[in-house]
Amino acid sequence: MKSKPFGALFGLLALVAILGVAPAFGQTANEIDMAKGAGAAATAGCVAAKNCFSPNPLNVTPGTTVTWKNTDTVSHYVTSGQPSDNTTGTVFDSGNLIKPGSTFQFTFANAGTYDYFCTVHPWMTGQVIVGAASTTTTTPSNSTTTGNAAVPEFGPVASIVLAIAVMSMVVFAAKTRGIPKF
Task: Kindly tell me the number of DSSP H helices and DSSP E strands found in the chain.
Answer: 3, 9
Q: Of 41, 71, 40, give the one whose Cα is nearest residue 53.
A: 71
**Cα torsion angle, 112, 67, 26, 173, sign:** negative
| Known binding residues | 76, 118, 121, 124
Q: Which DSSP category does 68 fall into? A: E
Burial of 105 (0-12, 13-18, 19+ CB in 10 A): buried
Give the Cα separation of 2 and 86 in Å (integer).
Answer: 74
Angle between helices 156-177 and 3-21 (to 10 degrees): 150
Give the Cα separation of 34 and 73 in Å (integer).
Answer: 10
| Known binding residues for Cu cation | 76, 118, 121, 124
Residue length, the chain? 182
